[in-house]
Structures are given as structure tokens and as C-alpha cells.
Structure 1
Amino acid sequence: MTFTPVIRETDKPSLASYQQGLKVLRATTTDAVGPPDNHDFALLITAPGDTTVRGGLWGQSRWGAFYVDMLVVPEDLQHMGMGTSLMQRAETEARGRGCHLMWLDTYAFQARPFYERLGFEVFGQLDGSEPIYPRWFMRKVLA
């Protein structure tokens, strides 16, 4: 690279800038260990006949592990088994992809007991100010 780099700061990065950065990262990864084994997954909650997403589960499998990036159940659908159903469907997908574990992170004000009921265990923790922290990193080994 023969240029003088310019670093621009922004608190509103565009999706295009993220995708460009990801392209560079994936090229570096490919050089180091071969093509990235990234496969996205989503379960989207919509109203019948509507395409507006009201919640769901977003994840990604990579190198034999399945990461649950985000689980969102609309308030009016909570405590009805929706979150459990989404997580079970994601686990079925993870197993179908040959993943050996699932992992996620959750904050103190979120859903650690919910994930523990589904068989997840804490493997890491970041501490900070209450009521946000601690932040737990959790996994479930898929036998």
C-alpha cells in the first residue's frame, strides 16, 4: 500500500462502509486460514400478510460454532414460548450445519436465566456499572 492513510471519525457509519471493511477482513482471513465459513441465519417475526419485521432471531454459523447475535420477542408475544421456540429452531439449524456449539452474550438486565433454562452456561464475564453489567458470554455444547 503506497498512500498516506486518512482516518475519518463518524458516529453514523454506513452499511456500505461496514461491508467494505468486512471485505478487507475476509480477504485477510482467507490469506491466513482459507475462505471464511460464515453462513447467516434468521427467523423473522411478522404479522400475517405483512413484511415488517417485529422481532426474531439473527445468527451466524462459522467454523463449527453457531452465534446467536440477537433475539427479539415483541412485548405482546413474550411469555408465550416464542423465545424458546426461536432458540429451539436455531439449535436445530445449528445441528443441521454440523455445529458443535452455540454461543451468545447477554447483559444483567436481559435474559441469563432464560438461556440457562435452555442449557446455556456462562463461559466469560465482563463487569461494569449496574444495572447494565455484568455482561455474560454463554455457550451450549451440542453433543
Structure 2
Amino acid sequence: MNIEIERNPSKAEADLLRRGIKAFNEETVRDLEPSEEEKRFHVMARDGEGSLQGGIRATCYWNTLHIELLWISETARGSGIGRKLIQKAEAFARDNGCENALVETTSWQARPFYEKNGYNHMATLPNRPKGHSSHYLKKVLI
């Protein structure tokens, strides 16, 4: 067996890996939500002139909202836009069958913000990135 790192595998091999884990998951958990049901979406906040002031990038799959990133412009921070973005993302997630929400945030980012919005700390991975920590939070949406 030859084991190597490949940074640019062929599309065919990457697809084989994806199909392999998908088949395993479907065999193991018969009523698992199909990956084709994954819904990627953004929630955007724009000012009166249409300039982007903040947003969320997220995905709904396996009955869970996965918040991938949240950004608010410096001028819009503290105005309540973050709370409104979270509420809009959670409402979309509920409408699409999500019962849970997950987010990862780092020690210099938004843990207190998420906790203020009902997220509960599950775990911390220290020294990720080096000298900091990553925090993992969840929220029940139902």
C-alpha cells in the first residue's frame, strides 16, 4: 500500500472518495438526510445605499444549521445587525428542517456574541490557531 499526500487529486478520485463516504453513511443510517438536500446560503445586510455592511455564510444539512462565517463592518458593529442576521439565518434553517445550529469561533472573535444569542459552549480546542483557541457552540432551534 502506497500512502501519499495529494494536493490536487483528479476529479474522478475526489468523486470516488465523496461517493464512498456517502454510500457508507447511507448504508449505516437508513433515514439520513441525503447530501443533495444540503442548502448553502448567505444572509446579507446592506445600508440604504446598498453597500454591504455584514453577512453570514451558512449551510443547512443533517438537520443542522452550520454557520461558517459572520462578518459585520466596523461602522455597523453594535447596531443590532448581527442579531438580526442570526435570527434570519435561524428562521431559514427552521423553515428547512433544521433543529440544531453549530458555530465555531476563535478566542478573538465572537463567542460572547453567540452566547448572548442563545448558543451554548460545547468545547474549546486550545492553541488553535497557535496562541489562541477555537470555541464550538450549539443552539437548539426547535
TM-score of the pair, normalised by structure 2: 0.76
> 1:89 maps to which residue?
88
> How big is the shift at 1:44?
2.5
- Is contact 1:103–1:137 with CA below 8 Å preserved after alignment? yes
> Per-residue deviation at 1:23?
4.2
What does residue range 15-30 of structure 1 map to in structure 2 within 5 Å? 23-30=15-22
Which residue does the alignment assign to 2:123? Answer: 124
CA-to-partner distance for each residue in 1:36-71, whole Å, 9 max, x for gaps? 131101012445356xx5531000011101100000
Matched letter for residue 94 of structure 1: A
Q: Residue 30 of structure 2 aligns with which residue?
A: none
Q: Are the aligned partners of 1:44 and 1:57 in contact in 2 as well (CA < 8 Å)? A: yes
Unmatched runs of 5 consecutive residues or more in structure 1: none
Q: How does 1:27-46 map to 2 (within 5 A)?
A: 27-34=19-26, 35-36=34-35, 37-46=37-46
Q: Distance in 1 between matches of 2:130 and 2:6?
A: 33
Question: Runs (4+) of structure 1 moved beyond 3 Å?
Answer: 4-9, 19-26, 45-50, 129-132
The 1:6/1:140 distance shift into structure 2, 3 A limit, reads: closer
2:87 corresponds to which letter in structure 1? Q
How far 1:93 sits from its partner (Å)? 0.7
Question: In structure 2, how many angstroms separate the alpha carbons of the residues matched to 1:77 and 1:114?
Answer: 14
Q: 1:112 to 1:6 in 2, by over 3 A?
A: closer
Letter paired with 1:135: S
Q: Percent identity of the aligned residues?
A: 26
Q: What is residue 69 of structure 2 aligned with on the other side?
A: 70
How many equivalent pairs are there? 131
TM-align CA RMSD: 3.0
> In 1, are the aligned partners of 2:128 and 2:134 still within 8 Å (CA)?
no
